[in-house]
Amino acid sequence: MRSLQSRRFRATRAIAAATAAIAWAALTGQVAHADTPAVPEFDDGFGLTQVTDDREVHSSTDFSITVTTPEVADQQKIRIFLPSDYASEPGKRWPVAYFLHGGPGSPDDADAVDALRSDQMITVAPDGGRKGWYADWLMQDTAEGAANWETFHLEQVVPFIDANLRTIPDRDHRAVLGLSMGGFGSMHYAQARPDLFGHVASLSGALDFGNYAVRGTVVATELNLTTAWCAVSSSRGCADYGPVVDSDAIFGSPYPVFNADHIWRSVNPAASDNLAKLADTGITLYTGDNDLVENHTADGVDVVTSRLDKLGIASRAVNYGDGSSLSPTCNGGHNYGCWSPALADYIPRLEAAFAAGATK
């Protein structure tokens, strides 16, 4: 009997001690949030430093980290979607798709695309700035500050992800896809680093810098002028492009006088010399043609596919016109009502290519 009373006393004392400890932790701010799902821990590296108190955890497979880097001013978010069995299969490695948002969007635009939440791959959506244009800017002393977006993504984010997540770190299992401003970025990155990316998809992308309406759009973002291009390229509508910068800040002068536009021509995704770099890359292009912006993106797709054909490089181009052949949500315009179903068409094809370990 005494032994039973003694056990009851010890149990009561343990419960009281635990209750007191929880109360003390609450008073001192040391309570662990049991309702916060566990996500992988990341180590700093490759020039990236985490802002540890600015992590957003939506679920164990959907979270964001925030980093700083000397290459780009301010703090930058990286949103990550993991396969549902990432934690339960610790010995498994996964392909990676990098999603590049449009302007003036953010990594959270990935929320608008259900297909990016894949159980067959990791999706990484890094910040590309409101008007970063996925480039190392010519001018680094504007109101935007440091703006080496290409270096940030290709030399820092990609190896950082490979070092911290269980990826398959080869080009056959790495893709870059983007829309609008990010459609330029995806093609540009695939051409700049064919060693990194075996697959590229551009949706309604700014593909042809030989088109002066496209050049004008880039300049409009530098000058923070609201245009139709901006109005729907973010999932939240048209937002502020940020401080006004020089019209030559990103790619230099857009005017073809005395070779002044040489940077524009050197990074033009539609240039044959750049397209030739995609000879061993799986290429997919989507566009509508039912508004002013999509008329220009459709023209860009036509130019690119024609030049790829002349180079003997295979590609898959989908012009869904007014959108009726794609989805009831698509009106053929420059918006997520079209991009989301287009990516729903593309992602299973990408998953199959990843599974086959091939780029074609």
The pLDDT tens digits of the residues spanning 163-182 come to: 999 999 999 999 999 999 99
Mean pLDDT confidence for 14-28:
39
Alpha carbons within 13 A on the beta-carbon side of 329: 11
* H helices present in the chain, as ranges: 2-28, 149-151, 158-164, 181-192, 212-222, 228-231, 262-267, 272-275, 292-311, 336-356
The domain tally of the chain equals: 1
Return the H-helix or E-strand segment holding 238. none
Flag whether 192 is in a domain: yes
User: What is the pLDDT, as a whole number, of residue 53?
Assistant: 87
Joined together, the tokens standing for residue 156 give 């820092």
Task: Look at residue 209 and tell me whether its pLDDT is greater than 80.
Answer: yes
Question: Per residue in 53-85, pLDDT tens?
Answer: 889 999 999 999 999 999 999 999 999 999 999
User: What is the pLDDT, as a whole number, of residue 36?
Assistant: 72
Task: Look at residue 30 and tell me whether its pLDDT is greater than 50.
Answer: no
Task: Look at residue 216 and tell me whether its pLDDT is greater than 70.
Answer: yes
User: What is the pLDDT, as a whole number, of residue 358?
Assistant: 55
**Sign, Cα dihedral of 266, 269, 271, 275:** positive
Flag whether 294 is in a domain: yes
Please tell me the pTM assigned to this model: 0.88
Could you tell me the CATH number of the domain that includes residue 225? 3.40.50.1820
Flag whether 25 is in a domain: no
Flag whether 23 is in a domain: no
Flag whether 63 is in a domain: yes
Q: How many CB atoms lie within 10 A of CB 54?
A: 12
Q: State the average pLDDT for the chain.
A: 89
What is the span of the domain harbouring residue 244?
49-358
Task: Look at residue 24 and tell me whether its pLDDT is greater than 50.
Answer: no
Q: Which amino acid is at 74?
A: D
Going by C-alpha positions, the residue among 238, 276, 6 that lies closest to residue 102 is 238
Strand-pair category, 56-59 with 49-50:
unpaired
User: What is the pLDDT, as a whole number, of residue 343?
Assistant: 98
Flag whether 29 is in a domain: no
Flag whether 348 is in a domain: yes
Flag whether 127 is in a domain: yes
Label residue 33 by pLDDT band (50, 70, 90): very low
